[in-house]
Every structure is written in structure tokens, then in C-alpha cells.
Amino acid sequence: MQLWDFGQVFGILCVLIVIFAASWVYFRTNIGRCHSSVDLSGKTVIITGANVGIGYYTALDLARRNARVILACRNKEKAEQARDEIISKTGNKNVVVRIVDLCLMRSIRNFAKEIIDEEPRLDILINNVGVVNEGKAKVLTDEGFERLFAANYFGPFLLTNLLLDLMKKSAPSRIVNLSSTVNKYGTIEFDNLQAEKKFKHHHRYFDSKLAVILFTRELAKRLEGTGVTANVLHPGSVATQLLKHMFVIIRIPVQTFIKIFCKTGEEGAQTSIYLAVSEDVKDVSGKYFVDCKIQENGANPLSRNMEVAEKLWRISEDLTGLAEKKTS
């Protein structure tokens, strides 16, 4: 018995094509863009992970605005290649590379010391680095940090705090942190921050992105009255190299979908750029942004629990050694 005739199949295909096209049009017309024409001459910017993806396009834009742009990267060769491309495209020769591994607290301290010793000011800090998966098994650094959570949260936490005095001296200045929409699925397990009890890649990623928002909220509270603002964003679903560690059988169909329905790196950088330069947000702090708009409903409700945020901050100070520095 024939279940489907040609007309039914054709009709179903037409409906699917219409749905696909409508979804694509809706997505393309709802991408936020930074329309600010602010010039950044005399300003200094640090962008972590600035050699690829969102970080690269953020650096490219800010270099076009005549900022001094510091590419804070782990891979020297790739960073220098990105630097040369940015200088070639913008004509701004004030683009430099500084090496830092956000998984290693000692590397962060060395980097921060170099910046403080050499740079008279720091106007914008963009914590852009994001790691989805560093391998199949849990990997600990020789300092005892689980690499994924360290790169996504503990590293940016320590780096930001070490540079705060310079940013206060340069005020008004801005801190921009990148999270992800998957923060909605995260939780904060204070007895498992170093994956002491359990480790699942996706859970660690979700939790780290929630931790970034909690960090930003608490940071904004502590910075009130200093002239330094701190905001956090979800860049959207972006076609970057972030999924390079996924299994091939999963990565290929995901990347195919991403190429059709997701933002380019340049489009994904727009909210980072907006928070870094727009006059619209010069007095805004502690908020969660998507597509250049405040979208608090896109953040995990737990991210607004300031008791959790404060506790996470205190524990992070201890684990990263920041508390020792403050008392020394």
C-alpha cells in the first residue's frame, strides 16, 4: 500500500522549505549591530584570545578606531599572524602581542605584571577566551586547576582583579566578559569547582559560563563609584573554532548547521564592541546583554543570587591566590 503520493511529498517539502527560509530570514534580521562611530585614539585595549573568531574581529574593529590593541594570546605564532593581518587591514601599527595562558595562574600573574610595568593606562579589558572541551578526560594543570573551568572562569577572574588598579587609574574604563546562553543550564557546586568529585565536559562548560555572570555581577557591585563598569554578554551562536575539540561525528553536522544559521565571527563580535565603545552603556554595569541589548531573561536566575556571587568570589580569591596577594 502506497502511503505517500508525489503531491503529499511535494507539499511537505514546500512547507519545510518555507519554514527553513522564514527561520533564516528571522535570524538574519535580528542580529544586533554596534553603530557607534566612537574613536579610541589614546585608549588602550586588552582582548584575550584575539587571534581567532570573535576576539579577532573585536580587535580588528577597535584597531580601526585607533586604539592601542593588545592581543593577549597563548599561541605566539598565531597571535603574531593575527597582529600582522590587523595592522595590514587597518593601518594601525599600535597593535601588539602579549603571551598569556589563562589556564595557568602564574602565566596570568606574569602577564599582568608586564602590563602594569609597561602600560600607563588600560581603558578596556575584554575577557573573550572561551574553551568548550580540552579533551576526553579531565586535565589538571600542575597548579591543580581543571583546564576548562580555569580558562573560562578562574583565569579571567584573576586577570581582571590584577589589572583593576590600572583600570581605576584610567577611568572611565570598561570590562567586558563573554558568557554563553548555556549558562541557563549551569549550576555552582562549591565542593566541585576543581572537578574534585565529578567531571562532565558539557556540565563544566555550562557551570563556567554561569560563573562568569556571577563574577560580573559581584565585580560591578564592588566597582560602584570607581568609574569602571563591568558587563557580560552572550555573543550568539557563532561559527568559530570553539567546537574544534568535539568528536568528528558530532562536530561535522553541528558545524554544517552553524554555517547556515549562525553568526559569522564579525557578527558575533558586535555586542563585545558595543559594550566596549558605545555611549549608550557608558553608565551601565552588571548587566547581561544579547545582540546589543540588555536581556536579563536570557540569564540563569541563579546568576542574580548575590549571596552565591559573593561566596563564589571569596572562594575564587582563595583558589587563585588573590586573597594572599591582598594580605601581603
Q: Which residues are catalytic?
A: 205
Cβ atoms within 10 Å of 203's Cβ, excluding its own? 16
Closest among 81, 160, 167, 162 to 127, alpha carbons compared: 160
Enclosing H/E stretch for 107 = helix 105-118
Measured between alpha carbons, how far is 79 from 83 in angstroms, rounded to an integer?
Answer: 6
Angle between helices 155-169 and 306-320 (to 10 degrees): 100
Number of neighbouring beta carbons within 10 Å of residue 247: 9
Nearest to 318 by CA among 178, 161, 163, 206: 161
Sheet order of strands, 173-178 included: 95-99, 68-73, 44-48, 124-127, 173-178, 228-234, 288-290, 293-294
The three three-digit cell numbers of residue 207, written as one number: 557551570
Q: How far apart are CA 215 and CA 314, in angstroms?
A: 11
User: Do 47 and 57 form a contact (C-beta atoms < 8 A)?
Assistant: no
